[in-house]
Amino acid sequence: MKYIFFLAVIVIGAYFFPQIIESNGGPCQAFEAKLTDEIGGQNANVGLFSGLVAGISNGEFGRQIATREYESLPAGLACVRAYYTLDTDDIRR
């Protein structure tokens, strides 16, 4: 029983970790914030544009990217998985 509890704590922690670290209200907003930070560090013009999109979309842009990448997962879980497996080289293609 304690192993199930321990596993539940790990899974719940992994789900809420991006939201806490990025100081956002949801997993898709956290993914979008990480995406904006990663892309913004590579090019100033793209960073400005992605920052504007992130400010307006409220996580919808991140949700679109994550659900396109992981179609079989619900949107929240797709955003969490995309947060942990983000590769900006794939997005720029």
Question: For residue 92, is pLDDT > 60?
Answer: no
pLDDT class of 5 with cuts at 50, 70, 90? very high
Question: For residue 84, is pLDDT > 80?
Answer: yes
Distances 26 to 41, 59, 60, 62 between C-alpha atoms, Å: 23, 8, 11, 11
Q: Which domain holds residue 53?
A: 2-92
Minimum mean pLDDT range among 6-15, 27-36, 45-54: 45-54
pLDDT of residue 39: 72
Number of domains, the chain:
1
Q: Which 8-state DSSP code applies to residue 58?
A: T
| Position with higher pLDDT, 42 vs 92 | 42
Q: What is the mean pLDDT of residues 41-56?
A: 63
pLDDT of residue 59: 77
